[in-house]
Amino acid sequence: LHSEEGSRIYAKRKIDVEPVFGRLKSVFGVRRVHVRGKQAVSTEIGFIFMSMNLTKLAKNLASKTSTIQKPHSISFSLIGFKTGITVWFYLEASFCPASLFF
């Protein structure tokens, strides 16, 4: 960190990495994971990042459709409903063990 290259890398880290984890803590309330083991932690973090990406997607889609369609709240709720159904089937097929659904 004391070298010129180390300072440059550290300055870039503030731009690239820290805002994502700040958003995880402030908006999503994630302070820690609640499972043990590498695979379980990876799965839980994957769910969290997927939810972050879905909120970004819903916000972007709502802003694109809100310029074309009115009212804003109806288009956003419909997009959220469709996204929720897609996520549920994706999660059932790829992340959740079969015993979860019995």
Where does the pLDDT of residue 25 fall: very low under 50, low under 70, confident under 90, or very high at 90 and above? confident
pLDDT given at position 39: 93
Distances (CA, A) of 68 to 33, 64, 75: 40, 7, 10
Instruction: Give dist(CA 90, CA 4) in Å, integer.
Output: 46
Asked if residue 3 has pLDDT above 70, the reply is yes
CA-closest candidate to residue 84, choices 54, 43, 63, 59: 54
Is 53 in the same domain as 6?
no
Domain residues for the domain of 92 are: 36-101
Burial of 26 (0-12, 13-18, 19+ CB in 10 A): exposed
Verify that 44 and 79 share a domain, yes or no: yes
Q: Give me the number of domains the chain comprises.
A: 2
Residue 26 is predicted with a pLDDT of 82
pTM of the model: 0.48
| 69-93 confidence digits (pLDDT tens) | 444 444 444 444 444 444 444 444 4
**Whether residue 15 is found in the same domain as residue 40:** no
User: Quick check: 61 pLDDT over 80?
Assistant: yes
